Amino acid sequence: MQENESIARTSATGLPVTDEFSQFPFLVDFLWKDKGNRVWWIVGLAAFLLQFVLFKFRYPFANYMPDSYSYLEAAYNNVDVNTWPVAYSKFLRLISALTHSDKVVTGLQYFFLQGSSIFFLFSILYFLKPARGVKIFLLVFFIFNPLPLYIANYISADALFTGLSFLWLTSLLWIIFQPQPYIIILQAVLLLACFTVRYNAIFYPLISLLVFILSRHSWKLKIIGIVLGFGLVLVSFLYTSQKMQDITGKRQFSAFGGWQLANNALYMYEHVPANERGPIPVRFAQLETMVRQHMDTLQRVKFTREDTVSSFFYLWNSRGPLIQYLVREYQKDSTTSYFKRWASEGPLYTDYAIYLIRKFPVPFARNFLLPNAVKYVVPPTEFLGSYNMGADSVGQLAKDWFKYKSLKIQEHTKARGQIMAIAWYPVFFAVVNIVFILGLLSILVLKAIAWKIYGIPQLLCLTVVLWLFNTAFSIFASPVVLRYQAFPLQLFFLLSTLLISRVYNMAMTNENSSGQSV
């Protein structure tokens, strides 16, 4: 009776739901004891090793961008708070206890990222069981996709965050399809890890909340899972906030958030006519004066800004009013560390940005959100587009940390310039998003799945909400660059392929049975 019901479910949806809770009671069984997975693991690991070795012949040294030196400085000083989350700096410090080889760092990043993504793919393939051709196509794409090589070669948290995001999402997938109590704990730990590596994970707890609500766990386990995940993130939030207060005297979670929001608001404020700005609260008077002086200069003098793609001028440029205000505030202070001075302005800039956005919501939508949405559709390659920012040398901190013989790295010379292997990804990301949306619409219009049957509807709900949150967060609060979209790009490529495959199979089935194409 149960066997017949399982067969009926498969034929009704075309995407079977597995009720065999005992088949893979432990993840290690799923990873290795399954013969098909074991073969692909061996093929994948061999391919990863070969690709990494060949890549290192082309790029023998790690890649650097401004963020890299911030992470290295935090690792060198072993600080608990920094411009960025410090988990990646702790990772660098841990590796340094064993070796100072940048190849070990980048190699670990690459294998962790690829291993995590393949684990997620195997889980999807196990639960959804697509056609053999689709399975091979997806495996080949994930194994030989060049993007992870370039992301992992950076001294940056991007590779760890992307890999952890895949593992976290995999745990949610198992909670939906094959809930086991131990996965609840694993999910909470992975959620915390994502949050401490990059604050882009700020909406991840809401995704976990949705999954637990939709899952088949008892309400007791649902509540335990929700409380455990949110609790760990809350502890991290309170700890970081307290550390920031100890250093700056002002309680805040992320100073960068205030700077980022002010940067976004000022891109809008550039387009507000002077006669419409009106009075300003006394608290912002000095800052507003410097901002207006800058805006007036923009009207009179046209100068080239290096942020025309990434929109970060007000964050880092010394000619911008945010940096100028910081310098003016501490012009007589030569003892306070730069980080403390920089972080101390975070709360003021947050409040100032919120004031401007509330006062000019329509200009903000028109002059910042809309252009940022366009960038989200085709995200710029930013630092991924060139090796070592086009330079043939590294900073002193990188030389000291990784024990380079010289700042001048001659082997980099031939690798400088635009990286053609990355140049096509922005357009590819746009295509993936379009295909994902069309796939979802096709599923809805053609009624290609049975919505009353558990599993697939929950997975689709999860992915749609994740797509919406990522899109909204990227457009409103985060710099839109390709490396920040590495996780959603691979995720939604996989899902788009499965959706289109389902629609195609349905059309072929109808054509064979009725003689007419759908």
User: pLDDT tens digit string along 47-64?
Assistant: 999 999 999 998 899 999
**Euclidean distance between CA atoms 307 and 311, whole angstroms:** 5
Tell if the pTM clears 0.85, that is, is over it. Answer: yes
Determine the pLDDT at residue 486.
Answer: 94
Determine the pLDDT at residue 407.
Answer: 87
CA atoms within 13 A on the CB side of 155: 34
255 neighbors 289 (Cβ within 8 angstroms):
no
356-364 average pLDDT score = 95
Query: Are 260 and 371 in the same domain?
Result: yes
* Interhelix angle 181-197/204-214, nearest 10 degrees: 160
- Name which of 20, 62, 228 is nearest 154 in CA terms: 62
**Euclidean distance between CA atoms 484 and 366, whole angstroms:** 23
Determine the pLDDT at residue 515.
Answer: 37
DSSP-derived 3-state class of residue 123: helix
Determine the pLDDT at residue 6.
Answer: 37
Residue 338 lies in a domain: yes
Residue 301 lies in a domain: yes
Residue 494 lies in a domain: yes
479-502 average pLDDT score = 93
**Euclidean distance between CA atoms 167 and 114, whole angstroms:** 11
Determine the pLDDT at residue 2.
Answer: 36
Query: Are 317 and 431 in the same domain?
Result: no
Q: Of all helices (H) and strands (E), which one includes residue 367?
A: none
Query: Are 272 and 328 in the same domain?
Result: yes
Query: Are 259 and 370 in the same domain?
Result: yes
Residue 67 lies in a domain: no
Q: Tell whether the model's pLDDT for residue 24 goes beyond 80.
A: no
Residue where a domain terminates, one of 377, 393, 411: 377
Determine the pLDDT at residue 409.
Answer: 74
DSSP-derived 3-state class of residue 408: strand
Q: By percentage, how much of the chain surpasses pLDDT 90?
A: 56
Query: Are 305 and 356 in the same domain?
Result: yes
Query: Are 363 and 423 in the same domain?
Result: no
Determine the pLDDT at residue 308.
Answer: 46
**Euclidean distance between CA atoms 299 and 15, whole angstroms:** 59
Q: Tell whether the model's pLDDT for residue 188 goes beyond 50.
A: yes
**82 or 7, greater pLDDT:** 82
Residue 296 lies in a domain: yes
Determine the pLDDT at residue 209.
Answer: 95
User: How many structural domains does the chain have?
Assistant: 2
Average pLDDT in the chain: 85
User: pLDDT tens digit string along 87-97?
Assistant: 999 999 999 99
Domain span at 361: 255-377
**Euclidean distance between CA atoms 145 and 19, whole angstroms:** 33
Cα distances from 418 to residues 54, 238, 294, 408, 412, in angstroms, run 19, 42, 33, 20, 13
pLDDT-based confidence at residue 502 (cuts at 50, 70, 90)? confident
Tokens of 416: 């400088």
Query: Are 305 and 366 in the same domain?
Result: yes
